[in-house]
Structure 1
Amino acid sequence: MTLLAPYACDPAASRGRRYAEPAAPTRSAFQRDRDRIVHSTAFRRLVYKTQVFLNHEGDLFRTRLTHSLEVAQLGRSIARTLRLNEDLVEAIALAHDLGHTPFGHAGQDALNACLKSHHPDSAGFEHNLQSLRVVDTLEERYPDYDGLNLSFETREGILKHCSRRNARRIEAREPCGVAQRFLAAAEGQPVSQPGLEAQLANLADEIAYNAHDIDDGVRSGLLSLAQLAEVELFEQYSRETLLQHPGLQGRRLLFETIRRMLSAQVYDVMDATRAALDTAGVDSVHAVRLSPPLVCFSTEMALKSSSLKRFLLQNLYRHPQVVETTQTAQQVVRELFAAYMADPAEMPQAHTDRFDRLESSPVAGASSPAKPERVVADYIAGMTDRFAAREHERLIGRVAFPA
Structure 2
Amino acid sequence: MTAPYACQPQDSRGRLHPEQLSTFRSPWQRDRDRIIHSSAFRRLKHKTQVFVEHDGEAYRGDYYRTRLTHTIEVAQVARTIAGALGLNTDLAESVALAHDLGHPPFGHTGEDALAALMQPYGGFDHNAQALRIVTRLERHYADFDGLNLTWETLEGIAKHNGPVLERDITGAAVAADLPYALAEVNAAWDLELHTNASAEAQVAAVADDVAYNHHDLHDGLRAELFTEEELAELPVIGPAFAEVDRLYPDLDRMRRRHEALRRVFGVMVEDVIAVAQNRLTSLQPQSAQEIRDMDGPIIRFSKPLYQNIKAIKSFLFTRMYRAPSVVDERHRVTDILNRMFPLFLNDPSMMPASWQRAAEQAPDQNERARIVLDYVAGMTDRYAIAEHLRLFPDAPE
In the alignment, residue 23 of structure 1 is paired with which amino acid?
L
Gaps of 5+ in 1: 185-191, 360-367
Deviation of the 1:171 alpha carbon: 4.9
The whole-number CA distance in structure 1 between the counterparts of 2:190 and 2:219 is: 35
Equivalent residue number for residue 337 of structure 2: 333
| 1:236 aligns to 2:234 (yes or no) | no
In the alignment, residue 370 of structure 2 is paired with which amino acid?
R
The whole-number CA distance in structure 2 between the counterparts of 1:349 and 1:227 is: 52
Deviation of the 1:173 alpha carbon: 5.6
Equivalent residue number for residue 105 of structure 1: 108
Report the TM-score when normalising by structure 1.
0.89
Equivalent residue number for residue 5 of structure 1: 3
How many residues end up aligned between the 2 structures? 378
Equivalent residue number for residue 225 of structure 2: 222
Deviation of the 1:255 alpha carbon: 0.5
Report the TM-score when normalising by structure 2.
0.90
In the alignment, residue 347 of structure 1 is paired with which amino acid?
M
The whole-number CA distance in structure 1 between the counterparts of 2:189 and 2:354 is: 29
The whole-number CA distance in structure 2 between the counterparts of 1:173 and 1:333 is: 27
Deviation of the 1:386 alpha carbon: 0.4
Equivalent residue number for residue 318 of structure 1: 322
- Sequence identity, in percent? 41
- 1:208–1:296 distance in 2 versus 1, CA, 3 Å: same
CA contact (8 A) 2:75 2:93 kept: yes
Equivalent residue number for residue 300 of structure 2: 296
| 1:250 aligns to 2:256 (yes or no) | no
The whole-number CA distance in structure 1 between the counterparts of 2:377 and 2:182 is: 20
| 1:259 aligns to 2:255 (yes or no) | no
Equivalent residue number for residue 142 of structure 2: 143
Higher mean C-alpha displacement, 33-42 vs 294-303: 294-303
CA contact (8 A) 1:33 1:151 kept: yes
In the alignment, residue 148 of structure 1 is paired with which amino acid?
L
CA contact (8 A) 1:171 1:180 kept: no
Q: Deviations over 1:357-378 (max 9, x none)?
A: 699xxxxxxxx99711111111
CA contact (8 A) 1:170 1:179 kept: no
- 1:66–1:178 distance in 2 versus 1, CA, 3 Å: farther
CA contact (8 A) 2:359 2:372 kept: no
In the alignment, residue 330 of structure 1 is paired with which amino acid?
T
Equivalent residue number for residue 40 of structure 1: 38
Deviation of the 1:169 alpha carbon: 7.1
| 1:347 aligns to 2:351 (yes or no) | yes
- 1:394–1:224 distance in 2 versus 1, CA, 3 Å: same
The whole-number CA distance in structure 2 between the counterparts of 1:358 and 1:174 is: 22
- 1:178–1:106 distance in 2 versus 1, CA, 3 Å: farther
The whole-number CA distance in structure 2 between the counterparts of 1:12 and 1:358 is: 41
CA contact (8 A) 1:356 1:369 kept: no
1:28 to 7, 26, 44: 26
Equivalent residue number for residue 376 of structure 1: 372
The whole-number CA distance in structure 1 between the counterparts of 2:124 and 2:191 is: 16
Give the 3-state SS of the residue equivalent to 2:118 in structure 1. Answer: helix
In the alignment, residue 155 of structure 2 is paired with which amino acid?
E
2:206 to 192, 200, 203: 203
Deviation of the 1:303 alpha carbon: 1.4
